Chains A and B, each alone.
Chain A
Amino acid sequence: MTPSTRKVLVVIEHADGAPTEPSLQALTFARPLAAGEPLHALAVGLAPRGLGDHGVGTLHLAEHEAFGSYAPAAVARSVVETIQRLTPSAVIAAGSELGNEVMAHVAAMLDLPLAANCVSATGADVTRIRWGGSLLEEATVHADTVLLTVQPHTVAVETTTAEEPAGELFTPELSAADLAVRVTGRVEAATGGVSLADAKVVVSAGRGAGSAEGFGIIEELAGLLGGAVGCSRAVTMAGWRPHTDQVGQTGTKIAPEIYIASGISGATQHMAGCKGAKKILAINTDPDAPIFASADYGVIGDLREVVPAISAEIRRVKGL
């Protein structure tokens, strides 16, 4: 198949018709690659709303009774059918967990290369992240149809004036293998507390906390600020806190107004998890700790003295 140079297909993830923010970012990312031509979008299940404002000319909507629950290979099969019909020059999805998963299936089905988590692209030349964003890689994708995903939150969504997209409904031909893996059940989490990923304030400690009990003062400060408690991997490995509290490349990505990180050295893998923080305050006994080179504010001192002093001062100003 010889692809048309300007046809760009974007796979849209949506929640009950509302496109996810990273999908809208992927649409903004895709427009220059289409050189002014309207984009093709693909969604499964429901038609996502408002895509016209994001430069979509045609919405390919895959309908199938199987789309009642998430089945990654079935979504991928719909993308593959659309690629075979359109022969686009590029196929783009959000670099979310599901976006990367679906595109990996597409790449495997078509035996094409896939560049995950790109921050920019010109034709087949891409820049993508490594090490959770601590390093970038410039690469060339050798394929007629370039498959890539867009690293979330690196492109600001821009709208454009456009018409409602034309709708093209189709029913993909799904094999038993495409449907073999699907969500078959749900375990709801016991709710309670502020979720780390969404918290406006995160108060963390690392190895410097010294023990599980050392987190008492961290919990106290987090409580006073209505925030969540976080930690480094040194802490989860020691069994002081559960992995759900871990901030970092292999933990939770946080985006608070302020991240208070105490007794944490600032390893790149930890910092990869708090790139979204608006401000970082580091508390560390070592004035040469690397974290001071990525923090906005620093206090040099023992967290066992500094953290309770901050809590006491908050109580004082609040009259508690």
Chain B
Amino acid sequence: MNVLTCVKRVPMTGGTIVLTEDEQAIETRHLGFTISPHEECGVEEAVRLVEAHGGESVVLTLGPAEAEEQLRDCMAIGADRAIHLVTDGEEWDPQATAAAVVDAIRADGTAYALILFGNESADAGNYQVAIRVAHALGLPVVSGIKGIGVSDGQLRCERESGGGRDVYELPLPAVVSVLEGLNLPRYPSVPGRMRAKSKPVAASIPSRPESRLERKRLVVPAGQGKQAEILGQGADAAPRVVEILQQIGVL
């Protein structure tokens, strides 16, 4: 079975978020980049499914030229090839993103049994690209999935709900959006990294439509930067901690 996974390059912000002067983006000069943990689990699942059932595992991103780094990371843990829709670095709104993904899937021509997404992108969190792609392709879609099983062309998915898990059964091909916890992604091995360097990346430049969800400005929410009351150093702080626990009423 062929499996496509869609991933998005995002900055690895640390303890605080700093914006660029024009408030249009996160200041990323000193930051590394990654993809959402949900998407990492998607890539790992795709690789496992292809290991078990044969076929090809492909990763796709819409992002700047630098996003090739994330595609190589995915190929380092076992994806076979990549599709890169190269942008000028501006974020596309979710409708435009979904349309570009759909065009790319059609142009690629591969019959994908499964198209995997993160439940939500790490940065924008629009909760919709997967569902839009499914509707455009006329495929069934399930969201928020933490368990995937495939047998005899049938898909069985599990989603956490109310202390247990709901089960969905659907035919392939299908679209699934996944959550971290689906699996524990492997670390890329050194040979994996070496092999990834020579795996194929098909790059093309899509044209960007007008945003219908138009971002105007980013704002760092108020309330950051309070300073903790230091109760003490080391084990000597324990009596003060216990006083606080008694005050709060949890002891």
B237 CB contacts on chain A under 8 angstroms: 299, 301, 306, 309
Looking across the interface, which residue of chain A has its beta carbon closest to that of B126? Answer: A116
Looking across the interface, which residue of chain A has its beta carbon closest to that of B131? Answer: A104
B239 CB contacts on chain A under 8 angstroms: 313
For residue B109, CB closer than 8 A to chain A, the reply is no
For residue A216, CB closer than 8 A to chain B, the reply is no
CB distance from B213 to the nearest CB of A (A): 4
Nearest 8 CB-CB pairs, A to B? A290-B15, A185-B167, A243-B181, A309-B235, A298-B228, A301-B234, A104-B128, A108-B135
For residue B65, CB closer than 8 A to chain A, the reply is no
User: Would you call B170 and A310 a contact (CB within 8 A)?
Assistant: no
For residue A249, CB closer than 8 A to chain B, the reply is yes
What is the predominant secondary structure among interface residues of chain B facing chain A? Answer: mixed
User: Would you call B230 and A313 a contact (CB within 8 A)?
Assistant: no
User: Would you call A114 and B229 a contact (CB within 8 A)?
Assistant: no
Q: Among A29-37, A50-58, A158-166, A260-268, which stretch is in contact with chain B?
A: A260-268
User: Would you call A292 and B135 a contact (CB within 8 A)?
Assistant: no
For residue A1, CB closer than 8 A to chain B, the reply is no
CB distance from A75 to the nearest CB of B (A): 13
Name the one of A72, A114, A180, A279 contacting B248, with C-beta atoms under 8 angstroms: A279
User: Would you call B180 and A186 a contact (CB within 8 A)?
Assistant: no
| Residues of A within 8 A of B (CB-CB), count | 100
Name the one of A127, A139, A140, A251 contacting B180, with C-beta atoms under 8 angstroms: A251
Q: Among A2-10, A38-46, A82-90, A130-138, which stretch is in contact with chain B?
A: A130-138
Besides A132-B125, A134-B17, A269-B13, 18 other A-B contacts (C-beta < 8 A): A104-B131, A108-B128, A113-B94, A113-B213, A130-B123, A135-B219, A135-B221, A189-B165, A243-B180, A251-B180, A265-B14, A289-B15, A293-B15, A297-B228, A298-B228, A300-B234, A302-B234, A317-B251
CA distance A297 to B234 in the complex (A): 14
- Interface set, chain B 111-161, CB cutoff 8 A to A: 120, 122-128, 130-132, 134-136, 138, 140-144, 158
User: Would you call B233 and A257 a contact (CB within 8 A)?
Assistant: no
Looking across the interface, which residue of chain A has its beta carbon closest to that of B37? Answer: A250
Looking across the interface, which residue of chain B has its beta carbon closest to that of A119? Answer: B221
CB distance from B228 to the nearest CB of A (A): 4
CB distance from B245 to the nearest CB of A (A): 7
- Interface set, chain A 270-311, CB cutoff 8 A to B: 278-282, 289-302, 305-306, 308-310
User: Would you call A225 and B251 a contact (CB within 8 A)?
Assistant: yes
User: Would you call A313 and B241 a contact (CB within 8 A)?
Assistant: yes
- Interface set, chain B 85-108, CB cutoff 8 A to A: 93-95, 98
For residue A11, CB closer than 8 A to chain B, the reply is no
Mask of A221-239 contacts with B, CB within 8 angstroms, 1/0: 0000111000001001101
CA distance A180 to B142 in the complex (A): 10
For residue A212, CB closer than 8 A to chain B, the reply is no
For residue A143, CB closer than 8 A to chain B, the reply is yes
For residue A169, CB closer than 8 A to chain B, the reply is no
17 pairs, CB–CB < 8 Å, chain A vs chain B:
A70-B166, A109-B135, A112-B212, A116-B120, A137-B216, A138-B219, A182-B168, A183-B166, A186-B165, A187-B165, A201-B250, A242-B181, A250-B179, A265-B15, A306-B235, A306-B237, A314-B245
User: Would you call A105 and B249 a contact (CB within 8 A)?
Assistant: no
Using known A-B contacts A113-B212, A251-B180, A290-B16, determine if residue A107 contacts B132 with beta carbons closer than 8 Å: yes
